[in-house]
Structure 1
Amino acid sequence: MIHQHRVYDMDINLIAALAADNGSTRLKAALALGSNPEPGLVDTLVARCAIEPDFYVRDMLTWALTRFPNEITVPRLVTELHSENPQARSQALHTLSKIKDAGAWPAIPRSLLHDPDDAVACSAWRAAVALVPDGQKGVLAAELAAQFGRGNRDVQLCLSRSLIALGEEVIEPVLQTAMERNDPGVHAHASATKRLLRDPSAGFELAVQEAKRIFVLGQDR
């Protein structure tokens, strides 16, 4: 009984530390909670993910959640996917991509792949690639390719890397289709993705600019 009280008191202190002003304190609290996972604390960790401002602390919270049984964490994270808070959606997707429980795939709303918030969309792309069954990879590739040309360099690179992770055979058809589009942004993004597929060390931004230049020259002929 005394031991149980000590554990309870420790958990209470760590929960309080998750809301501390000092980021290092919050980081250590997340580490401690993940090192000694108590199932009743999953809600606390998920709720903190939605509001935690520090990237490194959020990553530690994700790690902590991967230490709990999937049957507890996955349903709770799936609930977060419907939150009005973009960070809640993004972090839940990120954590699901780390847990890699295939059973979560049917529960991910496909609308998240087109979420207006770029951070949520990027997290959705990465989670989808990590969880999609082999038989649905082609459908996912087409859905992702529909967003060629979206966003800034970081968003476009995220989309390209997500597509590449699906495999060359899966994405070749959608790359070819996109490169035939009469849209310089779409054409350039798809071309840069193809170059990145062939040469992972290639400079993405330079590839985009070069593809746009070639597209314009082709239009001028």
Structure 2
Amino acid sequence: MTMSQADTRAKQALRGLDNADPSVRLRTALAAGTTPDPGLVGELVERCAVEPDFSVREMLTWALTRHETSATLPLLVGEVRSGRAQARSQALHTLSKIGDRQAWPAITPALLSDADDEVARSAWRAAVVLVPGSEARGLAVLLAAQLGRGGHETQLSLSRALIALGEVMSPALAAATTDPDPGVRAHAIATERLWREPETGFGFAIEEAKRVVALGGAGRKES
């Protein structure tokens, strides 16, 4: 089969991704993952950047995880530098699902502090999956620098990312409990509470932390 024939077959296989019906797009993505074909990877990655339906995006990610990393990683790493926020976010999400640490250098400080909350959240999740053990402490410092950012979901995502790093993040988190910014202090205290007492809900932990900060209480809770 010639290159042009392969390209034509790939385009035909993914024609359903342009359908207005999300169920058709979902089935097309499912088929692409069920029968992996390296000729489909470019189109799948490109569709991730513009697909409006969450379920279809998740299926596109699944389809990409079914392909060889030699085909997917270069394109996904390229996408994290895209000017489109959804392209960056979905590429990061897919890299976290693939879990190949060759992609770690693509997780830059700029992505971890991306102005778009969804991109930053995806970068945090990918970072804790991909980080080599020797660089986990440095990652904890970069993540802790984002404490106090955003609303409930964004703060919860960051807390979960820090907790996923384990004990290595403790010094950065402890330092943040004395930060001059009360929002940072409250988020750090709530994260520490959630780390030590996982059964505590984040909503309760953050509200309690805000009260502690407002009353001028000590940041750290003795274990």
Q: Quickly name the TM-score band, shorter chain normalised.
A: over 0.9
SS at match of 1:160: helix
SS at match of 2:63: helix
Q: Separation in 1 of the partners of 2:203 and 2:107? A: 31
1:36 aligns with 2:35: yes
Q: Separation in 1 of the partners of 2:75 and 2:9? A: 24
The code of the aligned residue for 2:138 comes to V
CA spacing shift, 1:38–1:182, aligned 2, 3 Å: same
Aligned pairs for 1:166-177 within 5 A: 166-167=165-166, 169-177=167-175
Matched residue, 2:109: 110
Superimposed CA distance per residue, residues 31-55 of structure 1 (whole angstroms, 9 cap, x where no aligned partner): 0011111101100000000000111
1:215 CA drift (Å): 1.2
SS at match of 1:18: helix
Q: Separation in 2 of the partners of 1:152 and 1:35? A: 38
Q: TM-score, normalised by structure 1?
A: 0.92
Matched residue, 1:22: 21
1:191 CA drift (Å): 0.8
CA spacing shift, 1:30–1:181, aligned 2, 3 Å: same
Contact 2:186 2:213 in 1 (8 A): yes
1:205 aligns with 2:210: no
The code of the aligned residue for 1:214 comes to V
Matched residue, 2:191: 193
Runs of 4+ in 1 over 3 A off after TM superposition: 7-14
The code of the aligned residue for 2:161 comes to S
Aligned pairs for 1:1-221 within 5 A: 11-167=10-166, 169-218=167-216
Residue segments in structure 1 that go unaligned for 5+ positions in a row: none
SS at match of 2:82: coil
1:210 CA drift (Å): 1.1
Taking only the aligned residue pairs, the percentage that are identical comes to: 57
User: Which segment is superposed worse, 54-63 or 193-202?
Assistant: 193-202
Q: TM-score, normalised by structure 2?
A: 0.91
Q: Separation in 2 of the partners of 1:181 and 1:110? A: 20
Q: For this pair of structures, how many residues does the alignment match?
A: 214
Matched residue, 2:221: none
